[in-house]
Structure 1
Amino acid sequence: MPDRIQCEFFLIRYVPDVVKGEFVNVGVVLREAGATAESTIVRFTRDWTRVRCMDAEADTSLLEALESEIADRLRLGAKDTKPVMQLLEDTLSNSVQITEPRAALAESIPAELEQLMRLYVEPIKMKQERRRTGRAAIQAAMRTEFERAGVWSLMRKRIAASLYTRPGDPMKLDCGYKTEPREVKTDPLVRIFHAVSLENEVDAAKGLAWAAPQLRDGVRRVEGVELELTAIVEPLRTLSTEEGERDSEATDRYRFGVEAMEREAIRVVTLSDLARVAETARFELRV
């Protein structure tokens, strides 16, 4: 039997009411004992159901953004968790806390991380649990592919459209990055990706199409480069009735949404093309 790896892990907890002391685990920090800070791995949950059950007003977008912040602080702070504690105190007034380290013996770091997430963080999966659908499913698939390519932490998330349109614009675009010229001469540009479900939210496609010219002008004005706006949608073949027959109305809505976006020069990509999109991001961000 191969020697196991001595590790230590911390749990990240969301504590909506510090006085009551009730909490829910939302993430794990894992690193090999005595190893360099660069070996630290941070993983947050992708399912915020338990957080929302405890606090319906929880800002899960802020919690998601905190994942990369904690990873950066831990790497910069080596073995000292005080920089992370300070970050949590400054950011969320102790509503997010990190536990004392606990020891673990791992066959491998990735396998141990998955095991800790199952034991301490992820909700128990019910046999009859409904499949995640719509925009939430597309967002989850986007994050998974970008993480697999190693670029998720390098991307901007929940990009405020008001940066490029006008104050008060409530739209938040899912993620994006700015390319840089490489050895082969290419013009830099901003790539922004946004999940649009054409299953039952065709108005979202119309809204993105309406905003596209203003976003494009704003990026040109603020960033000094062109914008490539990409909508990630589910494949048409997934839109069918329970009997497996193609729903003609759903098909018409789907095509209408795609055409509305493409008329405004929005690049429309299906989930089946996400791996290629993520690989392009990996190349352009030089990962």
Structure 2
Amino acid sequence: MKLRITEAVLAEAYRAKVCRERMEELAESIRKSVKERHSLPKMRIRLAEYGNDTELMLTAVSALRKDKEAPSARDRDFRAWMLMLCRSREHEVICYMCNELTDAWERKYRTREMLVLCDVLHTLKGHARTNEMTNRVCDYFFRERRNKLYGKTFRIEEKDMAYAESRLPELDKAVFRMTVNHYSHRTFVAEELAGLCGMGYSLMRRKFKTYYGMGPSEWLRRERIRRIEEDMEYRVELPLKEVAERNAFGSASNFADFCQKQTGMSPCELKAIGYEKWEKRRMDFWNQ
């Protein structure tokens, strides 16, 4: 069974005459893990001690930099090596993973390798500090999701973006917030917002509770109040009727009832407060 990455690293250890015995132990552990088709959590347990060995990881990075062929998802031992390199806290290893290897995959849109990193980072969560790698991987998928959301050209399939979001909570949170902010100006009804975001109401409600600490209806109410107060403070020339229309109120009485219930003030009182803030801001500017 040929393990290309392992053989290249082992050859470097022999050439440099460093940590030979330890590297042979590691190579044997990787062979067993690959042969027995271990899952990533099982690999993490088996290879943990090697990933924390600075000398081993620096030797591995040296070998990979010299190798003509970069690590690829086609390599049978790819997952094992990514697992160990991602958990290392050695500065040189982090620089190689973030600024060389991952950067090259991003530029070439090597999504298969990036998806493996999603699995690896998911496996290491709670067991190792992987902030730098997590940021790089999340950024790759977030950019493509943003391009798709705004109607721009994107090069990653929907199933791959969805899979990455399911594996990385940080990515899922960022994408959900971006999607909500993109569509929230179109409606103040939670069920309609769920439809615009392309998900069921129960799923959206669960995500709102997790990421915002409140339900979607409560968040939309607060967002509506914020927009009303913003119109009163920054668009002082607008009459109250137009402010009501801009914020989807069918009548002046509904608008007045909403303001009174949510803020304890009438629209006229809110407008007076907004005008005072606007006037103060203008005077502060001219008195600088």
- Tell me the TM-score normalised to structure 2 length: 0.23
Bigger CA radius of gyration: 2
- Tell me the TM-score normalised to structure 1 length: 0.23
RCO higher in 1 or 2 (8 Å CA, sep ≥ 6)?
A: 1
Q: Which structure features the higher share of helix residues?
A: 2
